[in-house]
Amino acid sequence: QLHLTMSEKNELTKSLEMVQKELQEKESEMKREVSEYKDRLLQAKKEHQDALTEANRKNEVEIEACQDKMNSLEHFISSQKLEIENLKSNKEQLNNSLKEANQTLGELLKTKVR
């Protein structure tokens, strides 16, 4: 009986050792997988950050180009307004000259008729 009990104890001990070894192997495997996932997560974060940085850089370049274009258009509009003011002034001067010429012509016609 004692021999049988000892034999069972030995088998149970061996079985326990095997289970412990399997658990250790599984724990090692899980730690390795966790480490791999962490590495992949870090790589994905880095790629995401790089993509964001590049997108921001492109947006800044585009914004700067738009601001330059807007400044150029504002300058063009300003010069066009100045040109319009000059044309209005010239028109007014021409109208005044035309009135004067018409008055002079009228006076000459009156003088000629007399």
Per-residue pLDDT of the chain (114 residues; tens, 9 = 90+): 778 898 999 999 999 999 999 999 999 999 999 999 999 999 999 999 999 999 999 999 999 999 999 999 999 999 999 999 999 999 999 999 999 999 999 999 999 887
Q: Report if residue 7 sits inside a domain.
A: yes
What's the pTM? 0.57
Q: Report if residue 52 sits inside a domain.
A: yes
Q: Report if residue 26 sits inside a domain.
A: yes
Domain of residue 62: give its range. Answer: 1-82
Q: CA-based Rg of the chain, rounded to a whole angstrom?
A: 48
Q: Report if residue 28 sits inside a domain.
A: yes
Q: What is the pLDDT of residue 70?
A: 98
Q: Report if residue 25 sits inside a domain.
A: yes
3-state secondary structure the chain: CHHHHHHHHHHHHHHHHHHHHHHHHHHHHHHHHHHHHHHHHHHHHHHHHHHHHHHHHHHHHHHHHHHHHHHHHHHHHHHHHHHHHHHHHHHHHHHHHHHHHHHHHHHHHHHHHC
Q: Report if residue 95 sits inside a domain.
A: no
Q: What is the pLDDT of residue 19?
A: 97
Domain count, the chain: 1
Q: Report if residue 112 sits inside a domain.
A: no
Q: Report if residue 18 sits inside a domain.
A: yes
